[in-house]
Amino acid sequence: MKPRKILFVCLGNICRSPMAEGVMLRLLREAHLENQFTVDSAGMHSYHQGELPDARMRSHAARRGYSLTHRSRPVRAADFERFDLIIGMDDSNIAALKERAASLEEVAKIRRMTDYCTLYTDADYVPDPYYGGASGFEYVINLLEDACAGLLEEIR
């Protein structure tokens, strides 16, 4: 069975994972597959719950034509049941997700975003751009566009 419900996860759910959600939704729309998939994002903590993505992330996204409207929310226990793939951005996200999973079946849904890269094959995590500059945000989008394209190939 191919995965149909995909959850992207980062720390705050205001930079990397809502960007991943935006990239994946656009790729699915372009492939006329949006009705077959559920895509969402969430964060390991709730500090930014209810907020739109970081203004810098939205601004870099907008330059490539993405409009990010997701509102930050924390990962919930029910996400591990509902979603088929739960994709973390870095080691810390993945370790925290594994701790939160309630069964081996739920652990088996956890993936690493950069494992889907076909261009940035040396990257093994999507770095947190929050405390960095503009180039960090651009690099995050480059990685996510690459990884989401690889993910789409795998699941379509």
Provide the annotated active-site residues. 10, 16, 128
Judge residue 134's burial from the number of C-beta atoms within 10 Å of its C-beta, 0-12 exposed, 13-18 middle, 19 or more buried. Answer: exposed
- Cα dihedral 16→19→20→21 (10° resolution): 130
Size of the site for ligand 4NP (CB under 6 A): 10
- Residue 10 found at the interface with ligand 4NP (CB under 6 A): yes
Segment interacting with ligand 4NP (CB under 6 A) among 7-15, 21-29, 60-68, 103-111: 7-15
Q: Which of residues 39-58 bind ligand 4NP (CB under 6 A)?
A: 47
- Residue 13 found at the interface with ligand 4NP (CB under 6 A): yes
* CA dist., res. 59 & res. 93, Å (int): 25
CA-closest candidate to residue 91, choices 110, 112, 75, 120? 112
Shortest Cβ 115–ligand 4NP spacing (Å): 18
Site string for ligand 4NP, 84-123 (x = CB under 6 A): ----------------------------------------
- Cα dihedral 83→86→87→90 (10° resolution): 150
- Per CB under 6 A, the list member of 6, 15, 28, 61 interacting with ligand 4NP is 15
CB-based contacts of 84, cutoff 8 Å, min separation 6: 3, 4, 5, 6, 109
- Per CB under 6 A, the list member of 11, 20, 24, 151 interacting with ligand 4NP is 11
* CA dist., res. 70 & res. 137, Å (int): 17
Give contact residues for ligand 4NP (rule: CB under 6 A): 10-16, 47, 128, 130
